Structure formats: structure tokens, C-alpha cells
Amino acid sequence: MRYYLSVNRTIRGKLPKDATPARWARFNDAFTNVELSAAQIAAEIQAGHAIAAVHDGRRKRDNWRMAQHIGIDLDDGALSWDEVTALPLVDHHAAIVHMTASSTPAHPRMRVLFLLDEPCDDPDTYTFIVGCFLRAFATADPHCSDPSRLFFGAPGCALLLQPTNVVTSEDLANIVTAWPPPDVPDDDPPPPRSIGFRPPGHAAARPHSRGDGAIIPPAHLSPARRAAHAAALLARVHHAPDGAKWATLRDIAITFGGYVAGGYYPETEARQMLRAAIETRRATVGSMPAAYKTIDDGLAYGKLSPLHYLDDGRPDAIPPRAPSTYYTPHGAAVGSRDAFVRALIDARVQELETAISAAGEGDDLAPLIAEYDHLMRAH
């Protein structure tokens, strides 16, 4: 298998610390886009040549095109070579591990290089994915998430080559689930984790098109089917129990991201609907900015794997309406986003009123009353 990246063969090792801006400019202009095997990439590194993502012209963010590798720099010396190479994440999925040009016997510095089975062509998505890898290595250099980051070669370095290791989309799903963004609502912490993957039975369930039949082009999808399915997805966020809101919001955002990539929703519309759904739970969400970031991160990851509606022969459950029509979790049609939010809030208020009136003596009603009061004051 071959991978897209760029290589700079004008120097061996690192540029000197006192390199002038003009020297850096010449260096950044000298990257060549190539397609290499894992063994060839390893040879470039040991020859001292720098690697980076594919760019159109000079290596900089504005010229970034795509990346098919993820580099993780371990510069703090907290782990030995044997400890790093024995980590399940490295042993099973890293293609290359090598000592860097800055490594010394007293202070070993290593780089772990993962190769993706498909290139990523969105810099924000790439940053999101690398962030998950960085959290798997608690002390890794956070600058590795820069899409345009270069990795200097290390002439004659110690290097481990595992050419059959490649990170698949299923592996990425596991990584995103195992090491999600850290700034999640306080009441919905991610599960404990350690370096390595979860057992296969706990692998992240990537959404996918279900049923048998031909793909329905976005322009031919019934507005009723689209709206009804969106309402069903959003209802899961609205009704998620405390302690599961973050995971539910993440999963539904990933699903919407897949349909955004498939062309069925504008990303702005998907984001607005997801925000509206979690807004109905504001009183019990630890941090709304963190919830919004979970939505954005989920959409970004979901866009990696487009989803499609299939023509499975089933009739639409709701008569066709204008694309601007929203459907509440109970199937009622409303004509605007504000009315949609209002309907979700009304449904939640009714649930709270029922729960409060049915509570027994000694039940802790404080959280329910606080949420009820907030919704009544805010809306």
C-alpha cells in the first residue's frame, strides 16, 4: 500500500536553531508531493529527510490539501523505547516508530507514525482526529495536531517498521470513542480508559446505511422521510437520561455528520437542529459551550464516512411537506426552527410536570424542579 505525503530532501536532519526566515522560506518551498510505501517512508526518515502533509506550493495552512499520516512526538522521556513499542495502540496500529534527531541517551525522544488507509482532505477534521491520538499518549507534544506540521528526519536513527499496520476507518471510530474530546459536560464524563483499544465487543458503532436497495440521491429524498428521520434522531438527544447525554449527543452528531457528507443536510442546518435539541436539556448540562463543541467534533468525524438513504420500498409515514417543515418527536409538523424548539421544550415541560406530580414522599425533586423552573423562565 502507498500513502500520500510530501518530502523535503534538501537537508539531512534538522534546520539549525539560528536559521533565518529566508532559510525557512526556501526550506518550506522545497517539499515535493509523493506517494510512498511504509518502507519507503521509513527510508526517507533514516536518510534524514523531513516529511509533511500534501500541500499546493509552500508548506503552510492555506496550501494544505490532505494528509495520510499522523505523527505523535514523545519528547518528555517518560516512556522508554520498549514501553512505547509494547503499547497495544502502537504494537497493533503504528507503522513506524523511530528516535528523533533531538534524541540523546540521557533524554530519549521518539516519534510514533500512524498511516491511514484513506487520506483526510479536511484540515479541521484532521486536527480533531490527531487530538484523539494525542490523548492516548498523555504527554505527547500537542503541536502535532497542526495539519501543516513537519517532521524532521533523523539520519541513521533507530527505527521500528511495521509495514502491515494501517489505521482503518473502524480503528478511527475506536480511537474517537476511547479518547474523546476532554471538555465534555461535567455530568457526563467519558468512561475510564487506558492506552490500547477496547475489546471488539465495545467497538464504536459507526453509523451506516441500512436496508437493501439503491441509494436515494439527496434531490430525490422525500422531505417527509428526511424530516421524520431527523426528528427521531433528535428525540434521542431530547430524551437521553442524565449520565448519557454526552455520549448520545456525540453519537447523533456523528450520524448527522455522515448525512451531511452524503449531501442530505447542510452542515449549518444539522448544527442548528442539534443545538436546539440539547438546549432543551440546558438545566442539566454541565457546560453548553462544551456541548456545542461535542456537536462540532461529532459532525467533523461523521463527515469522514458519508451516509446515504436507501430505497427500501417502504412508504413515507408522513405526507410530503415543504423542506422547511420540522417534525417534533411525536410527529407533529411545525413550520419553523423556533416552533420546533418550542415544541421540544413543551414536551420536556410536560414530562417534568408528570414526574413531579407522580413523585413519592422522600424523592429528591430538586433537579427536576430546577430544570422545570429554568425552562419556564427562559422560554
Burial class of residue 30 in the structure, from the number of CB atoms within 10 Å of its CB (0-12 exposed, 13-18 middle, 19+ buried)? middle
Asked whether 70 and 120 are in contact (CB, 8 A), the reply is no
Asked whether 333 and 236 are in contact (CB, 8 A), the reply is no
For 197-231, what is each residue's pLDDT tens digit?
332 232 233 333 334 457 888 888 877 777 777 87
Amino acid at 284: T
Query: Can you name the residues that pair with 67 across neighbouring β-strands?
Result: 120
| CA atoms within 13 A of residue 49's CA, in its CB half-sphere | 18
Q: Which helix (H) or strand (E) holds 117?
A: strand 110-120
SS3 of 23-81: HHHHHHHCCEEEEEEHHHHHHHHHCCCEEECEECCCCCHHHEEEEEEEEEEECCCCCCH
Q: What is the pLDDT of residue 210?
A: 35
For 11-49, what is each residue's pLDDT tens digit?
888 888 888 889 999 999 999 999 999 999 999 999 999
Q: Going by DSSP bridges, is the β-strand pair 32-37/50-52 parallel, antiparallel, or unpaired?
A: unpaired
Look at residues 72, 80, 165, 167 and name the one whose alpha carbon lies nearest to residue 119. Answer: 167
Whole-number percent of the chain with pLDDT over 90:
21
For 109-125, what is each residue's pLDDT tens digit?
899 999 998 888 888 88
C-alpha–C-alpha distance, residues 69 and 179, integer Å: 18
Q: What is the pLDDT of residue 368?
A: 72
Please give the residue that has the higher pLDDT: either 99 or 346: 99
- What DSSP string describes 326-361? EE-TTS-EESSHHHHHHHHHHHHHHHHHHHHHHPPT
Q: What is the pLDDT of residue 191?
A: 38
Q: What is the pLDDT of residue 136?
A: 82
Q: What is the pLDDT of residue 182?
A: 57
Q: What is the pLDDT of residue 67?
A: 93
Please give the residue that has the higher pLDDT: either 253 or 370: 253
What residues have CB less than 8 Å from 233, skipping those under 6 apart? Answer: 252, 255, 256
**What's the mean pLDDT when you consider all of the chain?**
77
Look at residues 194, 216, 180 and name the one whose alpha carbon lies nearest to residue 301. Answer: 180
pTM value is 0.52
Query: Which strand ranges, in their side-by-side order, compose the sheet holding 110-120?
Result: 54-55, 64-74, 110-120, 96-99, 159-161
For 343-377, what is each residue's pLDDT tens digit?
666 766 777 777 777 777 777 777 777 777 766 66
For 287-309, what is each residue's pLDDT tens digit?
888 888 889 888 888 888 788 88
Q: Which three cell numbers stand for residue 207?
A: 453509523
Which one of 280-289, 334-343, 353-362 scores highest in mean pLDDT?
280-289
Q: What is the pLDDT of residue 271?
A: 92
Alpha-helical (H) ranges within the chain are 21-29, 38-46, 81-86, 88-93, 123-136, 169-178, 223-238, 245-261, 267-279, 288-302, 337-358, 366-378
